[in-house]
Structure 1
Amino acid sequence: MAEFNTARIRELNDRARRTFTGCRVVLTSGIAELDDTAVQQILAQVRSYDQFNPDNDPYGEHDFGSFHHDAVQVFWRWDYYDLDYSMHSPDPADETVTARVLTIMLAEEY
């Protein structure tokens, strides 16, 4: 298995998650069906998420998060593709060969 620069992956993930730039953001149907206020609040919670620990971030990449918004549990996660979105990225630490996709979903949709 290839080893990647974890600190760089974490930096790229955090920057993209906080700004929603340098990535695609996908909302699942469960999130999209919530009212606009809830969606905006969820997006703000994703951007400000900082609850990383060894249990939910064992590789230190800041590539997954979970929180409750009102009565629903929300998950978000990163996927890394090549620039054509046809295969996994050859190196998620290299933004010149990686297309980041941030998916925000209800836990029940995972």
Structure 2
Amino acid sequence: MSERFRKLQSGGTIVAAPSVMDLGPHAVHEIISDVAAFDVATPDNDPYGECDFHIVT
């Protein structure tokens, strides 16, 4: 995932699992906002320094 797309949600397509969509529009909006705001890559959440995968808990 490009950092630009993650931050701006522009230039790509957001795909979510049905179980995420089942949380409702407010929760989905909050999740997308949290992912966009994430700005702290560490060896624990980005072990290869590629910024291509993040874990949301």
TM-score range relative to shorter protein: 0.7 to 0.9
Instruction: Give 5+ residue unaligned stretches, structure 2.
Output: none
User: Whose strand fraction is larger, Structure 1's or Structure 2's?
Assistant: 1
State how many pairs are aligned: 57
Q: Find runs of 4+ consecutive structure 1 residues off by over 3 angstroms.
A: none
How far apart are 1:67 and its partner, in Å? 2.6
Give the alignment's Cα RMSD to 1 decimal: 1.6
Give unmatched runs, 5+ long, in structure 1: 1-11, 69-110
Instruction: Indicate the structure with greater helix content.
Output: 2
Report 1 or 2 for greater relative contact order, CA contacts < 8 Å, sequence distance ≥ 6.
2
Larger radius of gyration: 1
8 Å Cα contact 1:13-1:63 kept in structure 2: yes
Identity percentage of aligned residues: 35
Opposite residue 61 of structure 1, the aligned amino acid is: E
Q: TM-score normalised to the size of structure 2?
A: 0.81
